[in-house]
Amino acid sequence: MLFGRILSVLTPLTMIPSIVYCLMFTPKEATMGDLYRIIYFHIPCAWVATLAFFISFVFSIAYLAKRKPVYDSIAHRSSEAGLVFCVLATITGSIFATYTWGSPWNWDPRETSIVFLLMIYIAYLLLRWLIEDRDKKAAISAGYSIIAFLATPFLVFVMPRITSSLHPEQVGGLGLTRPMLYGVFGMLAGFTFLYLWILSLSQRFDMEEI
């Protein structure tokens, strides 16, 4: 409860100044001009999606070990939030790719990985939706979440190395200046608080239902 209240203050306190700073006070990028500013949304979305899926994985393990409904609720709600941020990261990445790579979709390893991740967590939510019994739903989806997360290192570390990539991270970085980096960090903090706030609200809703 208190955690939620703190986050409800922290989130706008970090997000609003960060957005204003990123859009109005950071310099233009040398080659892309204002277009690069989408990374202020793209990077935090991708980061929060990864964090949310990791938290879902950790709480799935915790649920199987302790069988506390609150752990299942956190695992579930975190993966839902992760999925939303993952979709946002895909959309913002696609917009960026349209102008820099010439087409919105190129089957770049990063793009392929994100499709795999989306499929995994859509399947996870589908699985939850298909099972009615609450305990069964929690145990089966926790098992699925753990086994699905085993594929993530492959997507994040292996995939980009076995096929060539156009992603800036693979081709020498974005070349961000110090003010731009401050903007990225501010947005990262804001999005992380936003995710934690969403998680605490949705999880509290679950607990009231139980």
Partner 1 sequence: MPQTIPGKNGEKLRSFRALLAKEIRVAFRGRHLVGVGFGLAIVLSATLGFSLAGTKVGERVIASLLWIIVMFSSSDTLSRSFAKEEDEGTADQLRLRVPMPSVFLAKTLANAFFVLLIACVVFPLLCFWLGVRLSALPLVGLLVLIGCPALSFAQGFVGYLMSRGRALSAAYPVIVMPVILPLLVCLVLATSQALAEGTFSINLVVVIISESLAALVAGLVLVPYIEEE
- Asked if 148 interacts with partner 1 (CB under 8 A), we say yes
- Asked if 155 interacts with partner 1 (CB under 8 A), we say yes
What residue type is assigned to position 197 of the chain? W
How far lies 111's CA from each of 49, 130, 210, in Å?
14, 28, 38
- Asked if 158 interacts with partner 1 (CB under 8 A), we say yes
- Asked if 156 interacts with partner 1 (CB under 8 A), we say no
| Total residues interacting with partner 1, rule: CB under 8 A | 34
Q: Are 40 and 187 in contact (CB under 8 A)?
A: yes
Q: Are 191 and 16 in contact (CB under 8 A)?
A: no
- Asked if 54 interacts with partner 1 (CB under 8 A), we say no
Interface segment toward partner 1; rule CB under 8 A; list 1-9, 81-89, 95-103, 131-139: 131-139
The least CB distance from residue 148 to partner 1, in Å, is 5
| Residue spans of alpha helices (H) in 67-133 | 69-100, 109-130
Out of 13, 16, 147, 201, name the contact with partner 1 by CB under 8 A.
147
- Asked if 196 interacts with partner 1 (CB under 8 A), we say no
Q: Are 52 and 82 in contact (CB under 8 A)?
A: yes
- Asked if 64 interacts with partner 1 (CB under 8 A), we say yes
Q: How far apart are CA 123 and CA 141, in angstroms?
A: 10
